[in-house]
Amino acid sequence: MKQPNPDTTATGGVDISTPHVDRSWRDTFVLEQRLADRTGAEIGDALAVVDTHCAESGESAQDAFGDPAAYSRSLVDGTPARTFRLRPATVIGLVLGLFGLVAVPRAVGAWVEGTQVAVTQGDLVAVGLALVLTLVVALRSGPVLALVRHGWLTFVLPFAVLIALIVPQALLRDTVAEFAWGAVGAVGVLALALQVVLTWADFAEPDQLLDPRQPAPGRTTLQWLTAFIFPFLTLLVLGMDVIFRAVS
Amino acid sequence: MNPEQEWPSEWLRGVLSVCTLRILRDGPTYGYAIASELAEAGLGAVKGGTLYPLLGRLEQSGWVEVEWRPGEGGPGRKFYALTPEGHAEAERQAHRWAEFTDITRALTDQSVSLTNQAVSKGQQRP
């Protein structure tokens, strides 16, 4: 019987140990199953079957089950089609988090400079663009998520989106409206708080990969960090702002 | 069957369901044991990539129910067992398959006997 590959024993963010399955085979299989909107319990069950079969037959997953994407499709074929949709709470949390991330540092900046928070034409264009992108992700999440099959796109896309949002703000600087920093800051903090609550509520039903051979685990540190990602990013931006002001 | 000989995959696809149901009539068992029994019966090596999607379809049809059982000193195993509907379906498919093979045997046996006759005539020629 083939010895387990030691490189495959780590969970690597996957909550199931599959020591008899090659890591790259497992990662591709999990990705394809996620894109087919299979639940963490279903994916964990399928992975455990592959792992135990490979352990007993001594075959590699590639030899016994063939191409992981094709095997994933063979499990999904014939089952009722599922249409992946982000939950409304997830979308609203995302929008609120983005708003808080922009509003709070601006309010703090205006407070330090003793001015008001100016909203420019570029800000409005960027907000419109961000809302369109959010709607695309929310309504057509299947095709959008399928882009992650191309590794280079997952690296390039966030930068492309960031540039698309920054360019209009840099070019269109005419002020459209001004708001008191206190009001903007309060609304921003409220938005961040609501984002944490909504994201946390999403995790009330965690969809991590479950190993049917093990007792179900509790919430992970990663889930805590994800719920608090926008407040964390906001603090990061504020910290960078403080450093920038100190050195300039 | 000669272990080196492989049956055409189209034939295996057709017969795999009825043979798997037949094995499950003997009692609950797990995937690798089913694959081993199929191989021992002479059907050759059935890959996991073929067997488990079939077992999944049998489960979706309500003919098979599954249960994870802890392994003895090894990983747990997923056991497959026939439901009452599965037992009835296994019997029905076995009878249907017998009828089907009777028909195909009747056809192909003619061909085999004709070939045998031709061979024996050829051997009788000087």
Q: Number of residue pairs across A and B with CB atoms under 8 Å?
A: 62
Would you state the pLDDT for residue A4?
40
> What was the ipTM of the complex prediction?
0.83
A142: closest CA of chain B, how far (Å): 23
pLDDT of A9 above 80? no
- CA distance to A95, A104, A195, A234, per residue, from A184 (Å): 16, 7, 16, 14
Chain A partners of B52 at a C-beta cutoff of 8 Å?
46, 49, 53, 65, 75
Tell me A79's DSSP state: S
Answer whether B74 touches A (CB < 8 Å): yes
Nearest-by-Cβ selection for B48 from A45, A53, A213: A53
Interface touch A52/B60, C-beta < 8 Å: no
B91: closest CA of chain A, how far (Å): 24
- Average confidence (pLDDT) over A195-200: 85
Taking the C-alpha atoms of residue B49 and residue A70, their distance in angstroms, rounded to an integer, is 9
Q: Which of helix, strand or coil describes residue A19?
A: coil
The percentage of chain A sitting over the pLDDT mark of 70, rounded to a whole number, equals 79
Taking the C-alpha atoms of residue B37 and residue B101, their distance in angstroms, rounded to an integer, is 21
Query: Mean pLDDT of all residues in chain A?
Result: 81
Nearest-by-Cβ selection for A66 from B49, B71, B74: B49
pLDDT of A10 above 80? no
The angle at the Cα of A93, spanning A110 to A176, to the nearest 5 degrees, equals 35
Would you state the pLDDT for residue B61?
94
Predicted confidence band of residue B73 (pLDDT cuts 50, 70, 90): low
Predicted confidence band of residue A36 (pLDDT cuts 50, 70, 90): confident
Would you state the pLDDT for residue B57?
94
Predicted confidence band of residue A91 (pLDDT cuts 50, 70, 90): confident
Please provide residue B65's backbone torsions phi and psi, each rounded to the nearest 5 degrees. -120, 150
Short-list A58, A164, A172, CA closest to A118: A172
What would the DSSP string read from start to end of chain B?
--TT----HHHHHHHHHHHHHHHHTT--EEHHHHHHHHIIIII-PPPHHHHHHHHHHHHHTTSEEEEEE--SSS--EEEEEE-HHHHHHHHHHHHHHHHHHHHHHHHHHHHHHHHHHHHHHHHH--
Interface touch B78/A212, C-beta < 8 Å: yes
Residue A123 amino acid letter? D
The percentage of chain A sitting over the pLDDT mark of 90, rounded to a whole number, equals 27
- Average confidence (pLDDT) over A72-96: 78
Answer whether B77 touches A (CB < 8 Å): yes
- Average confidence (pLDDT) over A57-80: 91
Token pair in block for residue A33: 């199953």
What is the end-to-end Cα distance of chain B in Å, rounded?
35
